[in-house]
Structure 1
Amino acid sequence: MKKQTLNILYCLLAAFIMVSCQKNVKSTDAVPQAVSDDVLASIKAYGFSTSDVHPTDGGYIVEGDIFLSNDDLALKVSGPTLQVAKTEQYRTTNLVTGLPRIIKIKVSNLGAAFISGTDTAIARYNRLGLRITFQRITSGTADITIQGFNQGPSGGYITLGSSGFPTSAGKPYNLIQMNTNAQAYGANPNVLYVGSVIQHEIGHCIGMRHTDYMNRAYSCGGTATNEGTAGVGAIQIPGTPSTADPNSWMLACSNGGNRTFNANDIIALKYLYK
């Protein structure tokens, strides 16, 4: 998620393996460490911009909000490109299979706001009557674990959360990470805001790309940036609009408040999972 000086813009982001949320913050951190030419070449090979690369634990943040792990960058880019350059709801090539299916979610070692935020997100999905439903558990094996990490700002950025996309075996991505650092959500996180971020990250776990992945400037402002297919596909979902959709829960950036599904989001989810 990004926070600008005059206009607060919170990015809910996507990556091909890990999806992270960040915001810009005023920081007295040292100048970001240099990125090697080899790393920049790998980032470019995946189709991402190399003009704004920030090292972070385990990898790099590119284009302001996309996390690429060191393991991701070590892989050779291959395979077909599936891309539709409009502003609609998009899914990845892989989806959750074995429907109907209950996806169990466990919150591990996080505070009350994150637990309540998870319950908020789960309730919003379950009200749609999909063939995937969500259940928060406190013991046993979870399909998705939500856990915390504490990382302050680096180079003017702070990561708010991360997730990923379904596996080729039809399983949801199994991890959502939420930043517990006070500069991420504050000392007293707003439940509806936290819940909206978790709702968005769950969307990635079941195969949703950003609504404006092909032009993040639509919701984030600044220079037009295409996230690319990122090795997971970006397939337009029939029945969703071919014009701008300003209130989608999967827009790359929001105002950092309470955002849930709009009418077109519901069409997209029911097309995939009803």
Structure 2
Amino acid sequence: MKKQHSFIFSILFTAAFVTLAACQKDQKPETAAQSEIPEETLAQIKAKGFSTNNVRAYNGGYIVENDIFLDQESLTTESSTPNVRIAEVEQYRTNNLVRNLPRVIRIKVSNLGAAYIQGTDLAIQRYNALGLNITFQRVTSGSANITIKGFYEGPSGGFITLGYAGFPTRNGNPYSSVNMNTHPQAYGSNPDVQYVGSVIQHELGHCIGFRHTDYMNRAFSCGASGAGNEGAGSIGAVHIPGTPTGPDAGSWMLACSNGGNQTFNANDIIALNYLY
């Protein structure tokens, strides 16, 4: 998820947040970085159903839409699931979802401070309060399904990345990591637990198969500098029945956020209950 960053007044949060965008804070396109991405790779990203604006090479893969991580396997694996595209602002899922329900998803926080641990506990509490067929449990030892870890990256182009994650695997497991920015301009020197927890909540949404609510028109939450259609492609953007066909300002899966505490709204809960 991303968040827009003012160099006059520092804002604390935006989507990985794919955001919340999952994601990252919103960023303007970085033409220099973009020019370094091979055309073949950009074509693969587009075919998967993601915007090719502001693509960044990172850790052996690529961050797209500011908070979604695609590794080489994600780019080359073909999906056999039909894609559905609905040109509205509503709830969307990927083709792959977490399977073998009911299921407990174990989460470990690795080498991060107290605010990130407490934020993880807050996000877990919010999901578990819904009574879904997936529940989350934070563990301090043993194996984990999702590891929350840090990276350090300052603002660029007017935005700063708050966090990023990926989507479930083809065999029905959640994406295995959530990456949270530890740069002080992401969350400040004394991170607010509700703010951090809201970003983690958003990124966990990606891990279990949710796309951005405004994937068809990112300008809804990101403004003109973040406008664009993320596309469906082989990753999928499947409308979740029962969610609205108009703008949904309070959704926890909007591509960008102005910061602060943001949790599930009524339509988010409908979507989560429908899938899980």
TM-score normalised per structure 2: 0.83
1:218 aligns with 2:220: yes
* Structure 1 residue identity aligned to 2:257: S
Out of 167, 170, 184, the residue aligned to residue 168 of structure 1 is: 170
Partner of 2:85: 83
Q: Which runs of 5+ in 2 are unaligned?
A: none
Cα distance in structure 2, aligned partners of 1:131 and 1:45 = 32
The alpha carbon displacement at 1:253 in A equals 1.2
Which has the higher Rg, Structure 1 or Structure 2?
1
- Inter-CA distance 73–272: structure 2 relative to 1 (3 Å threshold): closer
1:11 aligns with 2:15: yes
Cα distance in structure 2, aligned partners of 1:168 and 1:47 = 16
- Inter-CA distance 229–124: structure 2 relative to 1 (3 Å threshold): same
Contact 1:92 1:209 in 2 (8 A): yes
Partner of 1:228: 231
Contact 1:126 1:133 in 2 (8 A): yes
The alpha carbon displacement at 1:167 in A equals 1.1
* Matched pairs, number: 266
Contact 1:166 1:206 in 2 (8 A): yes
Cα distance in structure 1, aligned partners of 2:60 and 2:127 = 31
- Inter-CA distance 117–68: structure 2 relative to 1 (3 Å threshold): closer
Out of 99, 114, 117, the residue aligned to residue 112 of structure 1 is: 114
- Inter-CA distance 259–45: structure 2 relative to 1 (3 Å threshold): same
- Inter-CA distance 61–145: structure 2 relative to 1 (3 Å threshold): closer
Contact 2:16 2:165 in 1 (8 A): no
Q: CA RMSD in A?
A: 3.0
Partner of 1:28: none
Contact 1:12 1:250 in 2 (8 A): no
The structure richer in strand per residue is: 1
Q: Deviations over 1:137-186 (max 9, x none)?
A: 11111111111122334555533211111111111111111111222222
TM-score normalised per structure 1: 0.84
Cα distance in structure 1, aligned partners of 2:236 and 2:133 = 23
Map 1:148-167; keep pairs closer than 5 Å. 148-154=150-156, 157-167=159-169
Cα distance in structure 2, aligned partners of 1:135 and 1:20 = 21
Out of 235, 252, 257, the residue aligned to residue 254 of structure 1 is: 257
- Inter-CA distance 233–42: structure 2 relative to 1 (3 Å threshold): closer
The alpha carbon displacement at 1:129 in A equals 0.7
Q: Deviations over 1:21-53 (max 9, x none)?
A: 13459xxxxx65842553555555555555544
Partner of 2:273: 270
